[in-house]
Amino acid sequence: MPLRSDWSAATCPIAHAADVLADPWVLVILRELFSGRSRFDELRQATGAADSVLSRRLRRLIEVGLIERRETGGYLLTDAGARALPILHAYARFTRAADPEGPWGLTILCARCAAPAEASDWCPSCGAPLDAWTTLWARRSMGGLPFALAVPAGEVVRAGAAVRAGAAVPAGAAVPAGEVVRAGAAVPAGAVPAADAPAHDSPRDPA
Ligand SMILES: [Zn+2]
């Protein structure tokens, strides 16, 4: 059963993309996949989606080629899915512009120069394009440290150095403030002030 009216045949590229992406659940699922959460139970907890809601969106995202199942379980963004990143950034930018003093918990950073690069597809500081491989996020709900996004195979560019996406942070290693951590890596104990670390996000919690 379609989730809504079918716009898949639209020849307007905006309407065509909206057929898949104009759905809050899809957007927060993509947010969590970029953040390194890949398994069904992780996605369910982070989004607050009911099983049926999450299952239908994941099926749809696979159908349209934005994600794929991993052989080892869980879901991964495809290259096409990674191209949805500027759309998420546009939502964040819209929100911050409408309410600059809001309690927004997601910060977007350029991986090349480490400057905040809110919600655009290029870095206003160093002029480099921003994509899923050259962008860092910091989320209050995930400890506030910048992390490389979980992207299809490739290298994440960080402040002039290339960091292999998925390179593990050694277990128990101290991660100083400002250090980039692998998407989804555990934040060291004590690094997260309890008040800033809700147990999980909800669709209404953009942190
Ligand atoms: Zn930059």
- Going from the Cα of 161 to the center of ligand 1, the distance in angstroms, rounded, reads 13
Ligand 1 center–CA 179 separation, angstroms: 16
Per-residue model confidence as pLDDT tens for the chain (207 residues): 555 677 777 788 888 888 889 999 999 999 999 999 999 999 999 999 999 999 999 999 999 999 999 888 899 999 999 999 999 999 999 998 899 999 999 999 888 888 888 667 888 888 888 888 888 899 999 988 888 898 887 555 554 444 444 444 333 333 344 456 655 554 444 443 333 333 344 444 545
Kindly state whether residue 3 falls inside one of the protein's structural domains.
Answer: no
Say if residue 47 is in the same domain as residue 110: no
Whole domain around residue 127: which residue ranges? 102-186
Given a contact cutoff of 8 angstroms between Cβ atoms, the answer to whether 149 and 117 are in contact is: no
Provide the 10 A C-beta neighbour count for residue 190: 7
Asked whether the beta carbons of 118 and 108 are under 8 A apart, the reply is yes
- What CATH number should be reported for the domain holding residue 29? 1.10.10.10
Output the furthest CA–CA distance in the chain (Å, rounded). Answer: 52
Write the pLDDT tens digit of every residue in 61-105.
999 999 999 888 899 999 999 999 999 999 999 998 899 999 999
Same domain, 114 and 150: yes
**Residue 90 covered by a domain:** no
Which residues hold their Cβ within 5 A of ligand 1, which is an ion?
Answer: 110, 112-113, 123, 125-126
Distance from residue 14's CA to the centre of ligand 1 (Å): 28
One domain for residues 107 and 181:
yes
145 and 75 together in one domain: no
Question: Same domain for 109 and 60?
Answer: no
How many structural domains does the chain have? 2
The CA distance from 199 to 142, in Å, is: 9
Q: Return d(Cα 66, Cα 57) in angstroms, integer.
A: 11
* 128 lies in the same domain as 65: no
Task: Please tell me whether the overall predicted TM-score, pTM, comes out greater than 0.75 for this model.
Answer: yes
